[in-house]
Structure 1
Amino acid sequence: MREITVAAAQMGPIQRAEGRDVVVCRMLALMDEAKGRGADLIVYPELALTTFFPRWYVEDTAQADAWFERDMPNETVRPLFDRAARHQMAMSFGYAELTPDGHHFNTAILTDGSGKIVGKYRKVHLPGHAELDPRRAFQHLEKRYFEPGNLGFPVWRNLGGIFGLAVCNDRRWPETYRVMGLQGVEMILIGYNTPAVNAEKSEEGPEKRLFHNRLSVQAGAYQNSCWVVAVAKAGVEDGFPLIGGSLIVNPDGEIVAEATTEGDELVVHACDLDATLFGKKTIFDFARHRRIEHYGLIASRTGAIPPP
């Protein structure tokens, strides 16, 4: 048995006017609670340090740089790294990254138990749009403020297992899980900020959005025989609601723990990484069963083209 106790640290809303120092204090409180509950790893949401700013349109995108982190760790978040090291707890969280050469990414990191960054992922599947769209109930401008990730879907050895990262919309795409599955991933950590209502389809509300959240995560876990920990930023930010539903899913695709609120909430579960082995050796033994000679379109075509 290779058991890791994981704390999914769901966060309630972060208002636009709130500073990062306030947010970090909330994150530290969740981390201390996680330590008290025996956690080896704490996972925070996408864009954990700020409001979900892609809902706001800014004409001059340089003005949006105030939401981005130029260094990681920086002075503001250093307490998180120090506290995690003191607790000997690994950590993952998402943030907006501005690189030294001026590139903007929706990024997540993974540390080891000493507070050292051992993994970085940049969101590949950016949803939404790039220009102001008055037809929408609200804006979703990730394509305006971020570039598609350029690191692929790497995995890392950490805490005695093999870990991968993804961010929000990535969880809806089976390729996300499969690329990591082909590297033997045993646990995938996903942060998300998902609006409770579809901006282009108002009848698609929280129940449907939570259903799709569970469906995507459970399918990815089952089809790649791995644990998935998906963690929300939830609640009403500046009048705009986000779903919660943070959950931990086992390699059989079963939900073993799930949040019940839309606020700061810790969801804790002891995850045996050896539970991934049966599926990887049987129905999802890729080496025995995959037929890559038939999968060419997946990597050669972007859009769907119906037959003539």
Structure 2
Amino acid sequence: MTTKRTLGLAVAQMGPVHLSDTRETVVRRLVEMMRDAKGRGAEMVVFPELALTTFFPRYWMEEAEAEARFFEAAMPNAQVQPLFDEAKKLGVGFYLGYAERTPEGTRYNTAIIVDRAGAIVGKYRKIHLPGHSDHKPDAPFQHLEKKFFEVGDLGFRVFDTMGTRFGMCLCNDRRWPETYRVMALQSAEVVVLGYNTPSLNIHWNEPVHLRTTTHLVSLQANAYQNGIWVAAAAKCGSEDGHHMIGSSAIVAPTGEIVARTLTEEDEVICVKADMSLGEHFRQHVFNFAKHRRPEHYRLIVERTGAGEPLV
């Protein structure tokens, strides 16, 4: 019989962060939400992608200016240390997205997992970078992740902390099934992620409602098909006139949304996540060792002439 294990899992959605907002102001908001989450029984709090700044890839600027204004050369640093201190004081772990500049000068869209003692136990650098690197002066805003960030070099890994196996990703990664499958094959139990998703797609005329629909479908389908919990935190609302979707959510291994934000402001949602629920799905429905046959995929591809084998 599977032993029941639970995790107090919270998502701390953020409302807008404007160009004029300081790191200190933003960190105070994060600390306040962490306290709120702790009061609801949270042991792990998920903050958004690029949580410390506005979504700066929407603006055309030189890389040097972006580095000076929006990137973190160390983590933690003096401005963000209060969040780490509060985590240690409360005994709460957290996930945080930020813009990282390495000592060698390489720039990444990065996320970390911090344990209850305030120590970094895992790092991820975004792999699926959306957008473009060239200037599009006729667009209502830019989406310059390919200009400001390098493709992540750490892969999709799983980290053991707080008695749970955590995987993590960032924003556009959530739309790719291999993101979750690679971590599920490493026995991930929970995948945590942050996102900043514009309501307007500058590349094609995508109906606005699809931005939220496809976001939720991606979370739900991958949670179910991999037997994992998924916790996704938005930074949303109108940042200096540029709107981003909310709909932060916690999804169970059943594919059901068990908590979802109602606003586009700072808002905390929290559930007691039953880890044994995912174990049931991984043992009896999606038992990779028992039922998954990659060699058959190869045969299908080869026999149909559908291109190079996938596995």
Q: What range describes the TM-score normalised by the shorter chain of this pair?
A: over 0.9
Q: Deviations over 1:112-135 (max 9, x none)?
A: 111110000000100000111234
> Alpha-carbon deviation of 1:34?
1.1
Please state if 1:157 is matched with 2:160.
yes
Partner of 2:200: 197
Secondary structure class of the residue paired with 1:72: coil
Distance of 2:138 and 2:181 partners within structure 1? 35
Kindly, what percent of the aligned residue pairs are identical? Answer: 51
Please state if 1:264 is matched with 2:266.
yes
Gaps of 5+ in 2: 300-305
Distance of 1:135 and 1:172 partners within structure 2? 27
Query: 1:1-308 to 2 correspondence within 5 Å?
Result: 1-58=4-61, 60-66=62-68, 67-205=70-208, 207-295=209-297
With normalisation by structure 2, the TM-score equals 0.93
Structure 1 segments of 4+ aligned residues over 3 angstroms from their partners: 294-297
Distance of 1:191 and 1:221 partners within structure 2? 16
> Alpha-carbon deviation of 1:6?
1.1
Cα RMSD for the two superposed structures? 1.5
Gaps of 5+ in 1: 298-303
Partner of 2:303: none
Distance of 2:276 and 2:72 partners within structure 1? 36
> Alpha-carbon deviation of 1:183?
0.3
Q: Deviations over 1:180-239 (max 9, x none)?
A: 01000000001000001111234521x211101100000110110000001100100011
Secondary structure class of the residue paired with 1:149: coil
Secondary structure class of the residue paired with 1:39: coil
With normalisation by structure 1, the TM-score equals 0.94
Q: 1:175 to 1:296 in 2, by over 3 A?
A: farther
Residue identity in the other structure for 1:153? F
Residue identity in the other structure for 1:104? R
Secondary structure class of the residue paired with 1:262: coil
> Alpha-carbon deviation of 1:294?
4.4
Distance of 2:240 and 2:148 partners within structure 1? 19
* Paired positions, count: 298
Paired residues of 1:3 and 1:271 also in contact (CA < 8 A): yes
